[in-house]
Amino acid sequence: MVKANRYKNLLHILSWGVVAFLFSVESHAQVSQIREGFVPIFNGKDLEGWHISRTNHHGTKGNFFVEDEAIVMKQFPYGQGGIILTDKRYRDFELTLEFKGHVGTNGGIFFRSSESGSGYQIELSGDGEPGTANLIGEMLRVANGAKAKDLEKVWKKGDWNSFRLRVVGQKPKMTLWVNDVLMWEVQAERNDLIADATSGMIAFQLHWSATLMPVPGGRCCDFSWKPNAAHAYRKIMIKEL
């Protein structure tokens, strides 16, 4: 009986040792996912550090919430969008995040953005549809835009896709990678921002729809936002340069 009890105790100790080892490996893997020098700007639990614009032309009532450690956005009421911005302003930085979107939607990642959403934009069209990862302006005339090269070769349909954006300089040099593949590198000829601003907020856009009600069988919104569709962002981290 004594030997049996010792054997059981040994198994118990070994099993806990295995659990502790696996937990250690998992924790190390999670830490190793954060690039050196980067800090999270989204805690995965709530919208602390972020706020919804009350002056954006896409809307001021969009449904922004946290689900499965991601910032999720849906129109509410239908037809109204908006933007959600960081409380903090950034000048030179590298930004990394993962994005997932439904087909038939449109939005974007803004940077050096004003409170109302005037700034540089990386367009996000549905699930990697045409326009995605292009550099454009939102309420801003951009002298030097860019189109993503061969995005369809690296885009993972129906899955999360990673973005890494680097922005440096008063006349910004901007570089974008999708799933660690270079899409474009642009050296701006000028500072396009109003009053030559050199910093602004990071923002995610929820595009408005052309109608305020779904049109049965109609093409009301296949290019802007289908009913009940969503965009989601997770693992949002930044490194100030």
Q: What is the pLDDT along the chain (241 residues), one digit of tens a residue?
A: 545 555 555 445 445 544 344 444 443 444 445 678 999 999 999 999 999 999 998 888 779 999 999 999 999 888 889 999 999 999 999 999 999 999 989 999 999 999 999 999 999 999 999 999 999 999 899 999 999 989 999 999 999 999 999 999 999 999 999 999 999 999 999 999 988 899 999 999 998 886 555 556 555 555 578 888 999 999 999 999 9
Q: Facing residues of 91 across strands?
A: none
Q: Are 86 and 65 in contact (CB under 8 A)?
A: no
Of 58, 53, 35, 16, the residue nearest 236 (C-alpha): 35
Could you tell me the CA-to-CA distances from 164 to 12, 176, 181 in Å, in that order? 45, 6, 9
Using CA atoms, how far apart are residues 179 and 195, in angstroms rounded to an integer? 34
Q: Facing residues of 107 across strands?
A: 124, 206
Of 191, 205, 187, 128, the residue nearest 161 (C-alpha): 128
Report which DSSP code applies to 61: -
pLDDT at 7: 53
Model's pTM, two decimal places?
Answer: 0.82
pLDDT tens-digit profile of 171-198?
999 999 999 999 999 999 999 998 889 9
Q: Are 218 and 191 in contact (CB under 8 A)?
A: no
Distance of CA 39 to the CA centre of its chain: 15
- The residues, any chain, with a CB within 8 Å of residue 173's CB and separated by 6 or more, are 166, 167, 185, 186, 187, 188
